[in-house]
Structure 1
């Protein structure tokens, strides 16, 4: 193979996360040399997971001995050697490989050790590992056209059902409201890819209303996790899935319990994430990528069945017609008809995700008295209802407290009446974006990088940058682990109000 069509060996012998990050490297190499042959040398445990990348032509499994690796590399007759691992083993393989064109990325091990041991910072550490990967390509005059991992980068080959037609595909999501909302694009895309298959959703009774109105959903299996049902429900749900005759089960939820139910159901093809606590109970696992939105991460599970690059263009939600009737009644009862409404959700299942109560009081007052708009507080349950009542009493306006007065379906129907939605990081935030409501989200213990920010265009996230303690947990917690709660307290009412005005002006509301 000549210089114009090089045969490239890329070496990355580290963890799966590091390998997933390297994806843009192969895309850029293929963009420069479309007919090149790219081989990736990886550890044995990652070979199956990485075999479906559209820009990798071959996976070479690393052997135990150094000379065994050198011999197999020499046998490949490669023209280019790209070392993205940069340790003694990969350096020696490259040195003895007899490959004429060699590149090695610098991971600056000395600077990293000095920082960890003595907190001595260095400018070289400010660059992300992926940036350093891509900088390495400059020596081969490879233009950097792709800078981020894409949803379709890591894909399995088509699922093998031994010629059997796919009759039913199950989607297992028994997490929170927000997680359920972010699963709707997966349902929609699955139905489009397999129009002749029936879609079965396994979910909790609390989130049934999200999936029930979807035209793509043919059947719902409820998994109750309250009380004794958390234990008994494992076998009951597994049996229900088994009786449903599902051929393929997609599991966005990463808990061990979900993986166990999937395994007990004996569905022939069970696909979950590599980061799942029960990953070993799946027949196939898909790399979990923190660098993309959760809606797109969920979609990546489909790469266990098909090899296609796609993204979630919007969240997909519907509600029962009766919900619109209930909302119309509430609008009339609370004298909201004909007014410009701003929705506010001040609660969360996690206390540290809540912007301080007194800040919401002042914000509501300013929206009503300075902007002359009607605020509507939403939420579910008695706790939120009490919170909404106190907010209405203390704010200097006429806000409407609908907390505890709407079902999940009613909340979905209500969203279409809002011109702006202000919220903590929560399930209603995702419902608002699903219905195209401009959303201003306040993030404290969680960060955008976790992938649960408002999905789509026209939304904003307010968060404090530069706090080393963020994120302190995946979902937040009951109290700040450091006791200062700076992640929320440093976000001022002025900050939020400024963004409220700007968003309302952008959308020509004021």
Structure 2
């Protein structure tokens, strides 16, 4: 049997699909498992014995992908976009499993009920039930692979100390970002080396934090594998609701998550570590909010730095 997993969402979403990959490999040993995702999957999923199809979501590439995967027997898609449903439909894969909240969900042969108030890991694993895989067979832990050589090379390249924590203030969604002054206060209040991570687009905000607090600023300076090695070598990751939190847990590192507009009730919270949430009538807003519905943006400052420090200090 040839089984295709389709998840073309963000980095963190792919990390949270690794229990589904591991469960398939355990329960259907003879099956050939493949994965379609954004191009970063070749680095993120290094170490997994599966076939990877990098996909950039281009129009002609979509037609090519439908042809490329046409000989698969089963497709499992946690992704809920219309594009995903259409490509899988036109591929002709006979058994296509998706969520009932997916756009064009009627194009799937099997629709699984999508439920909030459940961790994304558990939600994804529900998609395996049409294949006869029961809950007592599920592997629920995320897993990524980084070896000691990668960690040691990273330490040497950036001259990192033996003990440090990672600060991850940034997100693809601005309304998931806690206010910069809070990060400055947390960084100044922790008596341990702090490594600041993020992408090139976050460089200016990172420099602002660096001017006010003592941090090792690696924002925009690491490849994905190097980012994973930075996290793998840390004692703790303090993050907003974004992928570094999930990468940390997949590497066995605890995470403290600071929520603003989103909420752990949507199912994207650390399984190793803890989290802090705003106490506001309008909270939570939505899983991926683009603007404040109330207009006051109070959630961005609702969690206090002393609360974050209190939780962080429990881990080292």
Coarse TM-score class (shorter-chain normalised): over 0.9
Q: Summarize deviations over 1:12-36 as a string: whole Å, max 9, x none.
A: xxxxxxxxxxxxxxxxxxxxxxxxx
Q: Is residue 2:44 matched to residue 1:220?
A: no
Query: Out of 351, 365, 381, which is 2:188 matched to?
Result: 365
Q: Could you list the per-position Cα deviations for residues 322-377 of structure 1 after superposition, in whole angstroms to 9, with x for gaps in the alignment?
A: xx655434423443233x2110101000001000011111211111xxx2x00001
Deviations 1:411-461 (A, max 9, x none): 22222211111000001110011111111001111111111111x24x111
Does residue 460 of structure 1 match 2:283? no
- Residue 201 of structure 2: aligned partner: 383
Q: Which runs of structure 1 show a deviation greater than 4 angstroms over 4 or more consecutive aligned residues?
A: 324-327
CA distance in structure 2 between the partners assigned to 1:421 and 1:279 by the alignment = 37
Query: What's the secondary structure of 2:65's corresponding residue?
Result: helix
Q: Secondary structure at the match of 1:419?
A: coil
**2:67 counterpart of 1:239:** yes
The partner residue of 2:246 within 403, 426, 430 is 430
Query: 1:175 maps to which residue?
Result: 9
TM superposition score normalised by structure 2 = 0.94
1:470 lines up with 2:283 in the alignment: yes
Task: Kindly report which structure 2 residues correspond to 1:78-89, keeping only aligned pairs within 5 A, or say none.
Answer: none
Partner Cα separation in structure 1 for residue 86 and residue 169 of structure 2: 35
- Specify which of 265, 288, 291 is matched with residue 91 of structure 2: 265
CA contact (8 A) 1:275 1:287 kept: yes
Matched positions, count: 315
Q: Deviations over 1:61-103 (max 9, x none)?
A: xxxxxxxxxxxxxxxxxxxxxxxxxxxxxxxxxxxxxxxxxxx
Give distance in 1, aligned partners of 2:298 and 2:206.
24
Aligned twin of 1:446: 262
- Which of the pair has the greater relative contact order for Cα pairs under 8 Å at 6+ separation? 2
Displacement, 1:184?
A: 0.6
Alpha-carbon deviations, 1:158-206, whole Å to 9, x = none? Answer: xxxxxxxx2x110000000010000011011011111111111011113
Q: Secondary structure at the match of 1:497?
A: helix
C-alpha contact 2:73 2:95 (8 A) present in aligned 1: yes
SS of 1:360's partner is helix
1:406 maps to which residue?
Answer: 222
Is this contact kept in 2: 1:256–1:277, CA < 8 A? yes
**How much does 1:291 deviate?**
2.6
1:487 equivalenced with 2:268 (yes/no): no
- Matching residue within 273, 281, 284 for 2:107: 281
Once the two structures are superposed, the pairs formed by residues 111-150 of structure 1 within 5 Å of their partners are: none
The whole-number CA distance in structure 1 between the counterparts of 2:227 and 2:28 is 31
2:75 and 2:93 in contact (8 A); partners too? yes
Question: Are the equivalent residues in 2 in contact too, given 1:295–1:312 (CA < 8 A)?
Answer: no
Hey, what does 2:81 align to over in structure 1? Answer: 255
Q: Quote the Cα distance in structure 2 between the aligned partners of 1:211 and 1:334.
A: 24
Counterpart Cα distance in 2 of 1:182 and 1:326: 22
Aligned to 1:87: none
Aligned to 1:313: 140
Equivalent of residue 311 in structure 2, options 496, 499, 506: 499
Partner of 1:77: none
CA distance in 2, matches of 1:379, 1:266: 40
Over the aligned positions, Cα root-mean-square deviation in angstroms equals 1.7
Contact 2:154 2:229 in 1 (8 A): no
Task: State which of 169, 189, 195 in structure 1 corresponds to 2:29.
Answer: 195
Alpha-carbon distance in structure 1 between the residues aligned to 2:292 and 2:151: 37
| CA–CA distance in structure 2, aligned partners of residues 412 and 326 of structure 1 | 9
> SS where residue 224 of structure 1 aligns?
coil
Rg comparison, structure with higher value: 1
Q: Structure 1: which 5+ runs fail to align? A: 1-165
1:277–1:309 CA distance, 2 compared to 1 (3 A): same
CA shift, 1:379, in A, is 1.6
